[in-house]
Structure 1
Amino acid sequence: MRHWLVQFRKLSGLTQQEVADKAGISRSYYADIEQGSKNASGRAAKLISDVLGFEMTLFFADVGRKMSQKNKKPA
């Protein structure tokens, strides 16, 4: 789950549906992005970040953290 995205949305006082409507994407796609089951496309990342007022690069930093965690070898 992308807790940071949920926090941005809640601080904005918006529902998932309202963010999706303002961004021009479906609510189910937005919910999947928020849950972390889908990654936002570059276009969707820009639209969502514009609606919620943060830098779109946060989406890609999030992906980088997940990938580096998966590549760590157990001690």
Structure 2
Amino acid sequence: MLKGVKKMEREWMIEARKELGFSKSELAKEVKVVRSYITEIEKGNKSPSGKLALKLSRVLKVRMEKFFEEELEAEERELVNQ
């Protein structure tokens, strides 16, 4: 996470997971990570690697870029405010 970037829950990820009927454990198994890592990603405490974001995007049927939008927007705001 970037310095000064407020963590944001990925509500869209939680909604997509639930809409598709996945528990955190089931999603974790599907993309081959531990459940606690899915929790950290959903809470905004961790960002997935590009490879994991690709796997998650395919399973959750969302754009891969979605996993990085909040960080990119925060980075842009930080640059504008300098």
Whether TM exceeds 0.5 here: the answer is: yes
- For each residue in 1:12-60, what CA deviation from the matched residue of structure 2 results, as whole angstroms up to 9, or x when unmatched? 1111111110011111111100100011110110111111111111112
Partner Cα distance (1:15, 1:66) in 2: 29
- Higher helix residue share: 1
Instruction: Give 5+ residue unaligned stretches, structure 2.
Output: 1-8
Paired AA for residue 50 in structure 1 = R
Runs of 4+, deviation exceeding 6 Å: none
Partner Cα distance (1:65, 1:4) in 2: 16
- 1:38-53 residue pairs with structure 2 within 5 A? 38-53=46-61
What residue is the counterpart of 1:23 in the other structure? 31
Partner Cα distance (1:40, 1:67) in 2: 17
Instruction: Give 5+ residue unaligned stretches, structure 1.
Output: none
TM-score by length of 1: 0.83
Alignment counterpart, residue 71 of structure 2, candidates 60, 63, 68 = 63
- Aligned residue pairs: how many? 72
What residue is the counterpart of 1:35 in the other structure? 43
Cα RMSD between the aligned structures? Answer: 1.4
Measured after TM superposition, the shift of residue 64 of structure 1 is 1.2
Between the two structures, name the one with larger relative contact order (CA 8 Å, sep ≥ 6).
2
Paired AA for residue 72 in structure 2 = G
Partner Cα distance (2:76, 2:16) in 1: 24
